[in-house]
Amino acid sequence: MSDTESIEPDLTARVATLLRDHDPATTDPQEFRGALFDAGLARVDFPPGLGGLGLPQRFQKLVDARLEAADAPMLLREHNGIGLGMAAPTIVAFGTDEQRRTLLRPIFTNEHVYCQLFSEPEAGSDLAAVATSARRDGDEWIVNGQKVWTSGAHNADMAILLARSDPDLPKHAGLTYFVCDMRDPGVEVRPLRQLTGEAEFNEVFLTDVRVPDSLRLGEIGQGWKVATTTLNNERVAIGSGAPREGGMIGRVAATWRDNPQWRHPGMHDRLMRLWVDAEAIRITGERLRQQLANGQPGPEGSGMKVLFARSAQEVSGFDLELRGEDGLRYDDWTMRRPDKVDYTGREPGYRYLRAKGNSIEGGTSEILLNVIAERVLGLAPEPRADKDIAWKDLPR
């Protein structure tokens, strides 16, 4: 009997038991998601007792399909993508038993919405250059600095935070990784208005914020290693996950079918090329997610992120061209403070403008091409004269 033949009946029975004991029609959604976590069905590839069953990630589709058919409350991935896709895998990989016990379940119930305090005004593409300081004070760390381009900080309860704990070490070695409570004194969130008119991003100022050492993930000075795990998970989360004809290409294909008056010579061939590219990205992403069963994702996720950004920008541009004058319509320039990141929603003008950020967020395409060259293809790295110099001695 194959693994699939033995696992699928067991999962089906577990879902049936969950639905019997927690009727979706009468159970509070937060309570249901907690029961989902306790049953090991929230993310089946996580270890037993931590929301999973230690199974290959591909079996999550079976669970989700059964839950959707029962109209059960699903995980709020659009509202808490950073918590579910980035913070949770990092906590599993580097958290202590106590941290896993206290931090993971509230992510899956949506009690704790996360943001990511990584990038800074002088440390975007060169993330290891972060200047936000973390100074040890007994059982706490005092954090001071500024973060920028922080998606969803205005709605976040918690944050994953990368800070400099030792300026006397080279930049990659002097970093430490924390979980930060966004409601603590000294945390200030300010909106950054984007090209779309929204303020989905923020700048965050940290002034004498006290973070307990119990919320440090990994060892002191191990922050770069922990952050790399987060970034690899982020790139898999951003670069994959849409179903066939989902996302941007699905919107454009539907527009093509429903509006023959907009079709022009030569555009069909271009649409087919974009559709095939999107399908190749989807299948590659599925394969990459299945590899998560063997451990944390590696640098291969950088390739998915680059392809996703390129495809989104090409498809959204094609959409505008297909619609002609109608493609330039934009219904609302007032500043919104959205509670989720919407890559494909609203009108085509919004999608075209929003896609411009896809090649920046989650690692710029230029940096990711370097990652692919060096860590996937094994090419010679670029010379970096600053790798062995103490951070405090680097020119800024």
CATH number for the domain running over 3-109: 1.10.540
Known active-site residue 188: no
**H/E run at residue 91:** helix 88-94
Tell me how far apart the 2 most distant CA atoms of the chain are, in Å: 70
Start-end ranges of CATH 1.20.140.10 in the chain?
226-376
pLDDT of 148: 95
Start-end ranges of CATH 2.40.110.10 in the chain?
114-221
125 with 119: CB under 8 angstroms? no
Q: What is the torsional sign of CA 90, 42, 149, 147?
A: negative
pLDDT of 1: 36
Q: Which amino acid is at 372?
A: I
How far apart are alpha carbons 363 and 372 in whole angstroms? 12
The CATH-assigned architecture of domain 114-221 is: Beta Barrel (2.40)
pLDDT of 296: 61
Q: Mapping DSSP to helix (H, G, I), strand (E, B) and coil, where does residue 28 land?
A: coil
- Euclidean distance between the first and final Cα of the chain, in Å? 62
How far apart are alpha carbons 55 and 82 in whole angstroms? 22
CATH class, domain 226-376, is: mainly alpha
Please pick, among 203, 234, 300, 314, the residue that the annotation labels catalytic: 234
Start-end ranges of CATH 1.10.540 in the chain?
3-109
How far apart are alpha carbons 99 and 284 in whole angstroms? 33
Residue spans of beta strands (DSSP E) within the chain: 114-117, 133-137, 140-147, 158-164, 175-181, 187-192, 201-212, 216-217
pLDDT of 2: 47
Q: Would you mind telling me the total number of residues written for the chain in this entry?
A: 396
Please report, in tens digits, the pLDDT of each residue of the chain (396 residues total).
346 678 999 999 999 999 999 999 999 999 999 999 999 999 999 999 999 999 988 899 899 999 999 999 999 888 899 999 999 999 999 999 999 999 999 999 999 999 999 999 988 888 999 999 999 999 999 999 999 999 999 999 999 999 999 999 999 999 999 999 999 999 999 999 988 888 888 999 999 999 999 999 999 999 999 999 998 877 766 655 566 777 889 989 999 999 988 888 889 999 999 999 999 888 887 777 666 555 566 677 788 888 889 999 999 999 999 998 888 777 777 777 877 777 677 788 888 988 998 888 877 888 889 888 888 888 888 888 788 899 999 887
pLDDT of 357: 87
Q: Which residue has the tokens 């979980």?
A: 179
Helices then strands, counting H and E runs in the chain, come out as: 12, 8
Q: Mapping DSSP to helix (H, G, I), strand (E, B) and coil, where does residue 230 land?
A: helix
Cα–Cα nearest to 159, from 190, 115, 213: 115
DSSP 119-174: -BTTBSSSGGG---EEEEETTEEEEEEEE-S-TTGGG-SEEEEEEES-TTSBTTTS
